Amino acid sequence: MPNRKTPAPRWADEHRIKAFADAIHYTILAVDVERFNAPERTNLHRVIVRSGLYQAVEEALTASGVQWQGCHRSDLGDGVLVLAPGAYPKAVFGERVPQELARNLFAHNSAHIAEEQIRLRMALHAGEITRDAYGFTGSSIIHTFRLLDSRAVKDALSISDGDIAVITSNWFYEEVIRHIQLGDPGSYTSVFAAVKETTTRAWLHIPALDASPGEAGREVG
């Protein structure tokens, strides 16, 4: 007769689940490439775009004092989700990281043809995240993706001359952004994001880039 294993008692399953149930606070950064699936891009173009994306994000975080290896990353195909431990000051994510990303994207795009260029939507939030056997989950992550997919940030990027548009949650703005010294006090604009079940106030930012004269003539895709 087959050797049937005795099912684990219910309390054992509950104990196993409880081991993953304690949430930890993270800063949440998500980016998404505009028109990643555009028909003019080949698969080779997309590989180059993804390589440039990861390099730009990693270098932006490193330059801002955030260790890439110290963050949890999840590949999104046309973007990346970064969870930074709460020990890192959140101010750098709202002030320095977008500026560094804008600079890195400008450098990448200046050296690549239109099909290999990168324009990004970026969403910022923070909250309690639960890690289980399969990865990370939490309402804060869902909220971040809702912001990233909102018409407000998509439209802002589409009409911008820059390479990145940033949207932050209202919480992140009220608790972090408005308390730090930005070069332009009006650089974040209040908007409303409505995606699926989410309707919320958010804040939009288009990082300014002071390009040198030699950089001004690059092709924009």
Per-position pLDDT tens, the chain of length 221? 555 565 555 544 665 555 456 789 999 999 999 999 999 999 999 999 999 999 999 999 999 999 999 999 999 999 999 999 999 999 999 989 999 999 999 999 999 999 999 999 999 999 999 998 889 999 999 999 999 999 999 999 999 999 999 999 999 999 999 888 555 556 899 999 988 888 899 999 999 876 443 443 344 33
Asked, for residue 7, whether it belongs to a domain, the answer is no
What domain count does the chain have?
1
What pLDDT shows up at residue 17? Answer: 57
Asked, for residue 169, whether it belongs to a domain, the answer is yes
**Structural domain range at position 79:** 25-210
Residue 93's domain is classified under what CATH number?
A: 3.30.70.1230
Helices (H), 1-132: 10-21, 43-63, 91-110
Asked, for residue 50, whether it belongs to a domain, the answer is yes
Asked, for residue 19, whether it belongs to a domain, the answer is no
Closest CA to 174 of 162, 190, 163, 161: 190
| Residues 6+ positions from 139 with CB-CB distance below 8 Å | 127
Do the beta carbons of residue 169 and residue 143 sit within 8 Å?
Answer: yes
Asked, for residue 1, whether it belongs to a domain, the answer is no
